Chain A
Amino acid sequence: GIQVEQSPPDLILQEGANSTLRCNFSDSVNNLQWFHQNPWGQLINLFYIPSGTKQNGRLSATTVATERYSLLYISSSQTTDSGVYFCAVDAAGNKLTFGGGTRVLVKP
C-alpha cells in the first residue's frame, strides 16, 4: 500500500514563529488532506489539496503531486496551533492513509 511519511516528528515553536511541515507519499494520489488534531482528540479538516496551493488565514498548503510531497505552512504561530498535524492521502479512491503526524508545541 501507499506509504506516507511526515517530518519533523516533533516541533517546538515560540509564539509568533513560522514553520513548515512536510508530507512525502510513495505513489500518485487523488486526494490529500491536512488535519489538525486538537487536545480533545478531534480531527479538524484544514485543507483538501491533491495539487496546487491554498491559503486559509495564517495557514497555507502546497502539494507538488508530480514530486509526491505536500507542505503545510504555519505563519505567526499561536498557542492554539499546538497539537498534532496529520497528512492523509487516498490513492485508490476508497480510504485515507495517514502519516505518523507532526506534534507541534507553541510556547507563549
Chain B
Amino acid sequence: EPEVTQTPSHQVTQMGQEVILRCVPISNHLYFYWYRQILGQKVEFLVSFYNNEISEKSEIFDDQFSVERPDGSNFTLKIRSTKLEDSAMYFCASSEFLAGETQYFGPGTRLLVL
C-alpha cells in the first residue's frame, strides 16, 4: 500500500539554525499538508499546498516557515531560524483530491531545538 514517508525521523538542532524537513507524498496525490504537534498537545494545521503554491496557512505559519516542492516527488518544510518553541513532531500529509478526501499522514519528524 502506498504511504507517505518523511526524513529524518528525528532531528536535533541549535536555536537559530535552519532546518529542512522532507516528505515524499503518495505519488498520484495532488494536495500536500504540514501539521505539527507540540508534546502533549493536539495536532495543529500549518499549511496546505497545491499546484506549486500555498492554498492556505495558519497563524503559526509565519515568515520563518516556507514550503517547497523542489522536484516531482519531494515536499519540504523549511524553518529559517529555529526557536525553542518550534520543538514538536512535524507531520506531512497528502490527499488525492481537495474537498472531503482522506488525508494520509507520514510517520512524522521529531524536531528538538536546544
Chain A residues engaging chain B, CB cutoff 8 angstroms: 30-31, 33, 35, 40-43, 45, 48, 50, 86, 88, 90, 93-101
**Bound-complex Cα distance A50 to B101 (A):** 10
The 0/1 profile, CB within 8 Å of A marked 1, for residues 100-111 of chain B is: 111111011010
Chain B residues engaging chain A, CB cutoff 8 angstroms: 33, 35, 37, 42-45, 48, 55-56, 58, 89, 91, 93, 98-105, 107-108, 110
Residues of A within 8 A of B107 (CB): 40-42
Whether the pair B108, A43 counts as a contact (CB closer than 8 A) is yes
**Bound-complex Cα distance A97 to B103 (A):** 12
Whether the pair A98, B101 counts as a contact (CB closer than 8 A) is no
Determine how close the nearest CB of chain B comes to the CB of A68; give it in whole angstroms: 16
In this complex, what residue of A is CB-closest to B48?
A: A94
Whether the pair A41, B89 counts as a contact (CB closer than 8 A) is yes
Can you add 13 more A-B contacts, CB < 8 Å, to A31-B103, A95-B56, A98-B42?
Answer: A31-B101, A35-B105, A41-B37, A41-B107, A42-B107, A43-B43, A45-B105, A48-B102, A50-B100, A86-B43, A93-B99, A94-B98, A95-B33
